Amino acid sequence: MSNHTASLAGDAPIETRDQLIGVFESGSKPAADWRIGTEHEKFVYRTSDHAAPSYDEPNGIRDLLKGMEAYGWEPVVEDHIDGPNVIALKGPDGAISLEPAGQFELSGAPVDDIHATCAESNRHLKQCREIGEKLGLGFLGLGFWPDKTRDELPVMPKGRYAIMLRQMPKVGGLGLDMMKRTCTIQTNLDYSSEADMVKKFRVSMALQPLATALFANSPFTEGKPNGFLSFRSHIWTDTDPHRTGTLPFVFDDGFGFERYADYALDVPMYFVYRDGGYIDAAGLSFRDFLDGRLTPLYGEKPTVADWKDHLSTAFPEVRLKGYLEMRGADGGRWDRICALSALWVGLLYDSTALDAAWDLCKGWSHADHARLREEVPRLALKAASPNGGTLQDLAKQVLKIADAGLAARARLNGAGDSEQGFLAPLFEIATSGLTNADLMLAAYHGRWGGDVAAVYAEESY
C-alpha cells in the first residue's frame, strides 16, 4: 500500500470520463524517460524480546521516524484524536511510510537504473540499522510475521487504516492478516503508450506467479510451518475478491485504459480525504460519487485527487496508476530488493525481451492463470508450468530473457558492472529449485530444532 498523497489545492471536480482515463494516459512517456521505482517493507522488532513496538512507546515507531530525520528526512504529519502524529517521511530517496502494524516501508524515488535502486536501498537500510542500534530495534526481511498473532501486533495511528481494519473482516477471512502481518517488495515501471502498457500488463500479470515463486519467503505462522511457501500470497486470495486477483480481462481483446477504469470504478470505496482527515466511505460506489450521490458528501463530486486515492485501494497482482506496479513478491533479504527490479526491468524495458517473454505466455488460458495463482503459494517452483515441466524450468527461461534484456540496456556503474549481476540470487534459486522458504523449512526441521526464533539472527537486515 502506498502512503496517502494530499489532494491538490483547487483541484476541479471530475466532469467527464476522459478525466478518469487521463490519469493513465498522462503516464505515457518516451523510453528515454522511463524510470524504476522500488518499494520494500520490513518488520520492526525489539532486539531485547523480538516484540513488535507500538507507535508511541519509548524507542518505538514514532522515535524511529524521528531518528530518521537526522538523515534529512522531513516529517509528514496527520491529525489524530490525540493530536498530530508523524506518520511518514519524505526526502530525496522517496518516502518512508508505515503499514498498519508498523511495517516500515521505503517507497523509493524514481531512478534511472538498478545501480541507483541498489544504492538507494543500501542508504536506507544503513540508516535503519544505525537508528535501530540506538533504539534497540531490528528489521526482519520476511513476507509474513513468523511468530506473532494478530493480537500481539500494534496498530498505527493512521486514519485510513482505522477504516480498513473495520471493513476487512466484512469482505474476507484474511484481510486483517494482510494488513498487520505481511511485507512485500514491489517494482513500479513506466510505459510509452496505451499499447505498450497493455503488453507490459499482460506479460507481468501472466508471470507474476513466477515472481511469487522465486521470492517465496513466508512459510511460518505463529511459530510453526503453515503449509505454504508464500503464505503472504495466499492471504491475498481471501482478502477482498472485489479488489484483488489476476484480472482475467487484462488478456481479453480490447483491454486498455478505459477497461481498467471500468474495473476501478467497480472496486468499492474505502474513504474520501478532506480537510486533513478521512471520511469513511467503505463499501460505497465511486460511480455514485461521480454522480454527486455519495452518502457522506451528497451533492459533491470527486476530484482527480480522489480518483487517484481510490486507485490506490485496488490491490490486484499488477496495478495501474499512471505506471505499472508489480505486487507479487514476498519481503526478503537485502539482495532480493534489487533482484526484483532487475527481473522486471530486464523483461519489460527491452522490446526484444518483452516480445520473448510474451511468446512464453501468450498461449495461456484463463484457467492456466487461475491455476498458477492457486498453486504457487503452496508449491512455488514445483508448480506445473502451462508450457510443460515446472515453474523451475520456466524460471530458467525467463531469467535468461531478463538477463539478455539487461545486457541490451547496457547500463553500467562506475566500475563497469552491468545490471545483470543483480539477477544472481534468482539464478541461484532457479538452478537449485529451492526458495528461501524451502531453505528456512529445512533449517527449522534441522539445525533450528523447531524454533523459528532463529530467523531473527539469520533473516534480519
Confidence of residue 8 (pLDDT cuts 50, 70, 90): very low
Domain annotation covers residue 437: yes
In a domain, 329, yes or no: yes
Question: What value does the mean pLDDT take over residues 72-87?
Answer: 91
**pLDDT number for residue 6:** 34
pLDDT tens digits for 313-372? 999 999 999 999 999 999 999 999 999 999 999 999 999 999 999 999 999 999 999 999
The answer as to whether 225 is a domain residue is yes
In a domain, 401, yes or no: yes
> What is the average pLDDT across 274-303?
96
Residue 192 maps to a domain: yes
Burial class (CB in 10 A: 0-12, 13-18, 19+), 453: exposed
pLDDT tens digits, one per residue of 415-428: 999 999 999 999 99
If one counts the domains in the chain, the total is: 1
In this structure, what CATH number is given to the domain that contains residue 333? 3.30.590.20
Contact 228, 217 (CB under 8 A): no
Would residue 157 count as lying in a domain? Answer: yes
CA 410 – CA 339 distance, rounded (Å): 17
pTM, whole model, 2 decimals? 0.96
Residue 272 counted as domain residue: no
| 7 — pLDDT class (breaks 50, 70, 90) | very low
- Which range of residues forms the domain containing residue 147? 17-267+314-458
pLDDT mean over 31-44: 98
Asked if residue 282 is part of any domain, the answer here is: no
Contact 357, 349 (CB under 8 A): no
**Which residues on neighbouring strands pair with residue 189, listed in sequence order?**
36, 324
| CA angle at 149 for the pair 145 and 151, rounded to the nearest 5° | 125
Dig out the grid coordinates for 182 from the structure.
505481511
